């Protein structure tokens, strides 16, 4: 055998080894599930495919938790992990499912809306595969996801994404973005089917309020805010003012653009009777000019480069040495959700949505986040679900 053939065989072997080791890590990440303990408020758990059968058996299918009070009132839907790399959203949903108790009306929660995206990270951007939260019973580990559905599940991307049904031309990458594919269709690409399933859920369950949870860069102007279309803006404004006065954190209101299609806060309002809201909390991890993308940065939001930019007034949120701890971000989401329900209930008393035992901003800042996650080993097996 010539020397060149030995080199060739060695190269193929090294490639196989690298691909095997890296592939095994990505395979394990894709199939890693986080347990969620159904709290006392959870009355049933459905699947999104119950509302869009073409999702059945795909990674687009996901759990839908119902917290029904049995008392006549309104219905609210909270959607998290539309973009799974904005981790404050899914963590808020976990907190609600494990703790909230409905006193009037019904709360529906989807913790991993873009389930496919939650199973594909961005290795090219140095994203970690996992992150963990300290709890009273040990560490609770979560998958770190990406922004769009995994190319393993939806591929190839089109050259230009043509939004359905408005035919607006959008970036090719947004075909895998579940905040560009509303209202969706049952025979479309995976992300369109996911959004269609949620639209059917909204229509069939007579949902009155939809809240889509997100996180955004501190250098992006649409951050630390409530995005609302005209039909929701009064309630959004009252919620914004109330949390600012009573809970002492800023959360301004941004109008939903009329001519930008595919967004949840645009299409849910246009294609159903529900009032949509999109909540953005600051997520320093997502900013481009930061140090290494570590799990620590993900959780505490502390970064020297962002601090320097804050001193030059380049950021759209207050930023100090304290960073933006995850407790503050989840706390803001919890408080704004509860205040939106409160304002909606004042405006439509017959459709009141009242929750108890859901922590607010001050609770999370004081107690930390881990306190609100329950130990799966101590829970009844039929009360544990996997996300």
Partner 1 sequence: MPVVMIFYYLISVYLLGILVWSFVREKKSVSDMVLYLVLATPLVLRVLHIK
Binding residues for partner 1, rule: CB under 8 A, are 4, 7-8, 11-12, 15, 19, 23, 30, 152, 156
Q: Which is nearer to partner 1, 30 or 265 (CB)?
A: 30
Minimum distance, C-beta of residue 124 to partner 1, in the bound complex (Å): 13
Query: E strand or H helix at 93, and its extent?
Result: helix 87-99
Minimum distance, C-beta of residue 8 to partner 1, in the bound complex (Å): 6
d(CA 270, CA 276) in angstroms, rounded, equals 9
Minimum distance, C-beta of residue 7 to partner 1, in the bound complex (Å): 6
**Ramachandran category for residue 139: left, alpha or beta (phi over 0 → left; psi -120 to 50 → alpha):** beta
Q: Which is nearer to partner 1, 27 or 305 (CB)?
A: 27
Residue 249 in tokens: 């954190």
Minimum distance, C-beta of residue 11 to partner 1, in the bound complex (Å): 6
Minimum distance, C-beta of residue 151 to partner 1, in the bound complex (Å): 10
Q: Which is nearer to partner 1, 2 or 259 (CB)?
A: 2
Q: Which is nearer to partner 1, 117 or 330 (CB)?
A: 117
Q: Which is nearer to partner 1, 27 or 386 (CB)?
A: 27
- Strands 106-110, 209-216: pairing kind: unpaired
Residue 284 in tokens: 């320093």
- Strands 209-216, 275-282: pairing kind: parallel
d(CA 285, CA 111) in angstroms, rounded, equals 20
Minimum distance, C-beta of residue 197 to partner 1, in the bound complex (Å): 22
Minimum distance, C-beta of residue 36 to partner 1, in the bound complex (Å): 25
Minimum distance, C-beta of residue 155 to partner 1, in the bound complex (Å): 9
* N-term to C-term CA, the chain: 52
Output Rg (C-alpha) for the chain, integer angstroms. 21
Q: Which is nearer to partner 1, 30 or 261 (CB)?
A: 30
What is the b/e burial string over 101-111, where b = at least 16 CB atoms within 10 angstroms of the residue's CB?
bbbbbbbbbbb
Q: Which is nearer to partner 1, 12 or 162 (CB)?
A: 12
Q: Which is nearer to partner 1, 31 or 248 (CB)?
A: 31
d(CA 5, CA 12) in angstroms, rounded, equals 11
CB 214 within 8 A of CB 227: no
Could you list the beta-strand ranges (E) of the chain: 35-37, 44-47, 63-68, 75-79, 101-104, 106-110, 130-135, 138-143, 161-162, 169-170, 209-216, 225-228, 252-255, 275-282, 354-356, 384-386
């Amino acid at each position: 055998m010539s020397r060149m053939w030995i080199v060739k065989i060695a190269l193929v072997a090294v490639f196989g080894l690298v691909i095997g080791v890296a592939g095994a890590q990505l395979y394990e990440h894709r199939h890693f599930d986080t347990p969620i303990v159904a709290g006392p408020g959870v009355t049933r758990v459905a699947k999104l495919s119950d509302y869009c059968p073409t999702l059945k058996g795909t990674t687009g299918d996901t759990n839908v938790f119902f917290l029904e009070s049995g008392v006549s009132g309104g219905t609210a839907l909270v959607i998290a992990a539309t973009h799974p790399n904005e981790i404050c959203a899914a963590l808020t949903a976990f907190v609600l499912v494990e703790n909230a108790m409905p006193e009037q009306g019904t709360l529906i929660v989807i913790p991993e809306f873009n389930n496919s995206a939650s199973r594909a990270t961005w290795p090219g951007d140095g994203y970690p595969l996992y992150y963990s939260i300290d709890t009273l019973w040990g560490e609770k580990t979560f998958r770190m996801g990406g922004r769009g559905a995994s190319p393993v599940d939806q591929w190839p991307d089109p050259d230009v994404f043509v939004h359905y049904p408005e035919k607006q031309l959008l970036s090719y990458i947004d075909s895998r973005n579940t905040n560009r594919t509303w209202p969706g269709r049952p025979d479309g690409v995976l992300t369109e089917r996911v959004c269609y399933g949620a639209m059917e859920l909204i229509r069939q369950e007579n949902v009155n309020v939809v809240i889509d949870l997100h996180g955004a860069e501190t250098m992006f102007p649409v951050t630390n805010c409530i995005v609302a279309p005209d039909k929701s803006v009064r309630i959004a404004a009252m919620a914004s003012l109330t949390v600012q006065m009573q809970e002492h954190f800023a959360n301004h209101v941004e109008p939903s653009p009329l001519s930008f299609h595919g967004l949840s806060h645009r299409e849910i309002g246009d294609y159903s009777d529900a009032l949509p809201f999109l909540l953005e909390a600051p997520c320093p991890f997502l900013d481009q000019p930061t140090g290494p993308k570590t799990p620590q940065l993900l959780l505490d939001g502390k970064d020297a480069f962002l601090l320097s930019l804050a001193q030059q007034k380049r950021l759209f949120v207050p930023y100090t040495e304290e960073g933006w701890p995850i407790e503050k971000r989840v706390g803001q989401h919890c408080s704004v959700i509860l205040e939106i329900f409160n304002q909606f209930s004042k405006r439509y008393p017959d459709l009141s949505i009242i929750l108890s035992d859901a922590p607010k901003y001050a609770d999370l800042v004081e107690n930390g986040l881990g306190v609100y996650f329950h130990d799966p080993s101590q829970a009844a097996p039929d009360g544990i679900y996997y996300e």
